[in-house]
């Protein structure tokens, strides 16, 4: 059985939340940090994993 991760990202002002599910957290976070043009993370400046 393969494990999965649920993660939450936010922007620097903590006004936007992005939730996701992945089986490879390191790889997925690297994808988010690339800030591809037109992506949700780029549009809203979502670039940090935060603890709430």
Global pTM reads 0.81
Q: What ranges make up the beta strands (E) of the chain? A: 5-10, 17-22, 48-49
Instruction: Report whether pLDDT(44) > 60.
Output: yes
Question: 3-state DSSP: the chain helix, strand, coil percent, rounded to 5?
Answer: 25, 25, 45
Q: Tens digit of pLDDT for each residue in 5-16?
A: 999 999 999 999
Assess contact for 20 and 28: CB atoms under 8 A.
yes
Taking alpha carbons only, the member of 39, 14, 13 closest to residue 28 is: 39
Where are the chain's structural domains?
5-49
């Amino acid at each position: 059985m393969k494990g999965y991760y649920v993660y939450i990202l936010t922007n620097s002002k903590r006004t936007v939340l992005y939730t996701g599910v992945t089986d490879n957290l390191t790889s997925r976070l690297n994808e988010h940090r690339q800030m591809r043009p037109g992506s949700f993370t780029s549009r809203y400046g979502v670039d940090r994993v935060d603890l709430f």
